[in-house]
Structure 1
């Protein structure tokens, strides 16, 4: 089982100053969102000394990856403009995880996972299957440029979904961790991901793949077992123990 002991969400309005800061020009928006969410988690748990000296595992999940950076690179290439090496570097699938490894010094292992609208759910499934006793930090981030937002709305979502840029993060403590009993928190025991063939979707008014964590975080406040629907006809079923 995995206890969810801290949760964070970030929206563009929360990071506007960082996004506009010229000193951050070498970082993609994905990186800034992910680092901000991670820092928020550690700030929430700053009174727990174990995080200062304990290695953690990180799973970074994203539905779109660095698609906006890739688009920018190929746009410049097609227009005969300068193709900056930094843009290419930031377009790589694990570039955000690399930035996190520089910002979070005590990472034991890191994984990047991407599976569209259920990227967070797949990350949680991976964490539940892990045999590691380290706390697991799952961070999900998706940032849409104006062009990618236009393409996604036209070609991917048949239902009306309000896509926004955002990040969600959760710190999970596995049963095998010596810190498990230090926290009174809901513990997730299982996740099942099914194709439901339904067109109904549960989502917050502002949607992006990793706000599946936001749905789970809200539901865990009152329920031990629940299900909800995601875009592309996916149904998620969660089993948990709520103390």
Structure 2
């Protein structure tokens, strides 16, 4: 089994590189057929998902015991979140940006991947695996929503300046970028919320006492609640799209800084 896993580790970066090439062609060529890009994307996600299952079965733990495995999960989650948005909103022009990021993460994962069965015992808890998956996909969706918000602001600025280059001409319309950003942020808020709830359930099941007042947890919960408030404001106050994009970018920056401070200085 390990030999097969090693082969897949070599194949996955090549698969993501193929995705980058196909989506780049779709971005540059307005007449390019998007169906092949979509089919290839879902095919790569299927192979990558089976790889995680096989790796977990081989080592008997949830495959997130190293930085390399974490990078591989980031590559997978970015591609999966983008694929879901693409399927819902029927647009492929921005795919090259996200699969390029996935390629970078998967390349790093494959280069530094280890095959050491040593791992924290917590990774053998299936509920912990569910918690991790929800958290990774939730944060990824928030990041994807933020990237779309950034594209919205950049395109809006270029339209006002009337200086559109090839890059901006090939981006989707402003209303599409706005919808992509909102859907990504909403999905990320919901999924991350589920992840936090499952995490607390896992903590309650641990034999030792768990510190629910850990500053790192409180910071994460506070930032998540900020997203909930933001979603409600956008839903019921009808904020203009440009203001929503600005708030999306600003709060994700707060999220990164807060979590970074919590894990760096409060460990």
Ranked by relative contact order (alpha carbons within 8 Å, sequence separation 6 or more), the top structure is 1
Decide which structure has greater helix share.
2
Decide which structure has greater strand share.
1
Larger radius of gyration: 2
